[in-house]
Amino acid sequence: MRMPPFKLHTPETLEDAVALSGELGEAGDEFDWIAGGTDLLPNYKWHLNVKPHVISLARITELSELSETHIGAMVRLHELAESDDVHPLISKVAAMVASVMIRRSGTVGGNICLDTRCFWFNQSEEWRESIDWCYKCDCGTGADCRVIPNQNTQCVATYQADLAPVLMCLGAQIHLAGPSGMRSMPLNEFFELDGITRNVLQPGELVTHLTMPDDSCELVGDYQKLRQRDSWDFPEAGVAVVWRPGKSGGPADLRVATTGLESIPGYHEEEAASILNDWKGKDSIDELAESVRTAVRPVLNTWYPPSYRRKMVKVLTKRAGSGLTEV
């Protein structure tokens, strides 16, 4: 449980940070970014994929800008929860993440890029050695996945962060910077189904900020999550339902996203669109809940069994979409 040694770099500007990551990349040195450290440091203490270099973003002030349409990657979750500028749903969700101490330190960028979690992976080094490692942290042994054996192709660890589904539903655009330049994309294209890499970030790239579309303030919605203890547990399942109030009879736009069920958050575009085409009020919400339940594929690697999580996804979707009947 002792912290492994690493070299800490503290660049003061984004250019310095990106240049440093390029240098380390060229020299063949592996490194991790550290923002709040609430996810990375416990993993390092457990000797999970430890890198010799760590680049801290704490001194880069330009990453902590916060306004109605601009959320910097280094904005603390607590600031987001207390903010009056951002969409009320974002501050509500930020206030639901973990405990207040973790929110004081944890950041938006860190929450979006949160490492996936699994019963067979988030364990001490001795524990993992006794099961001959696992696919995600195989320590050079080429070990098999312990959740679903005999499939050495994909890690199925669970993505358990809260902000992503809500930001996806609100249409956030994510901005990345790296040695090869800046790029941006919608947040739902940022994630790629793989428990190890989980997103499109290339080596040396980092998330700089998120921008919200101007019309996001017209959207309303809710987020519901499932966990054993409301104080600080990771979500076992989370559902965000966001809609644009229509002129008459039903919402004008409907977006649904889930988290805590697969290796990446799920953006259920097709399910939402098919419901929206044939809007029948309360029955449609039940239909939507059922289609989301069948769309998700949780596996047995967190506290609740997958069957219960799927059943609860249905309930959570109904609860999150309960405001739709008043549209």
Instruction: Single out the residue of 231, 247, 248, 326 in contact with other proteins (rule: CB under 8 A).
Output: 231
DSSP secondary structure, 283-326, as one string = HHHHHHHHHHHHH----S-SSS-HHHHHHHHHHHHHHHTGGGGG
153 binds other proteins (CB under 8 A): no
Residue 120 interacts with other proteins (CB under 8 A)?
yes
Q: Is residue 131 a contact residue for other proteins (CB under 8 A)?
A: yes
Our CB check for other proteins shows the closer of 75 and 145 to be 145
Min dist. Cβ of residue 135 to other proteins (A): 16
CB of 280 to other proteins, least distance (A): 22
Q: Which stretch binds other proteins (CB under 8 A): 3-11, 22-30, 33-41, 231-239?
A: 231-239
* Closer CB to other proteins, 231 or 248, in the complex: 231
The DSSP call for residue 154 is -
Q: How many residues bind other proteins (CB under 8 A)?
A: 21
212 alpha-carbon distance from chain centroid? 17
- Asked if 2 touches other proteins (CB under 8 A), the answer is no
Residue 6 contacts other proteins per CB under 8 A: no
DSSP string, 219-282: -EEEEEEE-S-TTTPPPSEEEEEEEE--SSSS-SEEEEEEESSSSS-EE-HHHHHHHHHT--TH
117 DSSP 8-state letter: B
232 interacts with other proteins by CB under 8 A: yes
- Which positions touch other proteins (CB under 8 A)? 99, 119-120, 122-124, 127, 130-131, 228-234, 303-305, 308, 311
